[in-house]
Amino acid sequence: MAKSPIPFDLSKPALLAAISYVILAFTIVLPFNIGDGYTYSFGYRLLLLLILLIPIALSVYSINCMYVGKCYVWSWVNGVVLAIWVLMFVLAVLMSNARLVRDDENVQNPKAN
**Would you say the C-alpha torsion 59, 64, 70, 73 has a positive or negative sign?**
positive
**pLDDT per position as a tens digit, 46-84:** 888 888 887 888 889 888 888 888 778 888 888 888 888
Cβ contacts of 12 within 8 Å, gap of 6 or more: 67, 79
Q: Which three-class secondary structure state does DSSP give residue 39?
A: strand
**pLDDT per position as a tens digit, 3-19:** 555 556 888 999 999 99
Average pLDDT, the chain: 77
State the pLDDT confidence band at 113, using cuts at 50, 70 and 90.
very low
Cβ atoms within 10 Å of 20's Cβ, excluding its own: 24
Burial class (CB in 10 A: 0-12, 13-18, 19+), 36: exposed
8 A C-beta contact, residue 100 and residue 47 = no
> What would the mean pLDDT of 73-98 be, rounded to a whole number?
82
8 A C-beta contact, residue 63 and residue 17 = yes
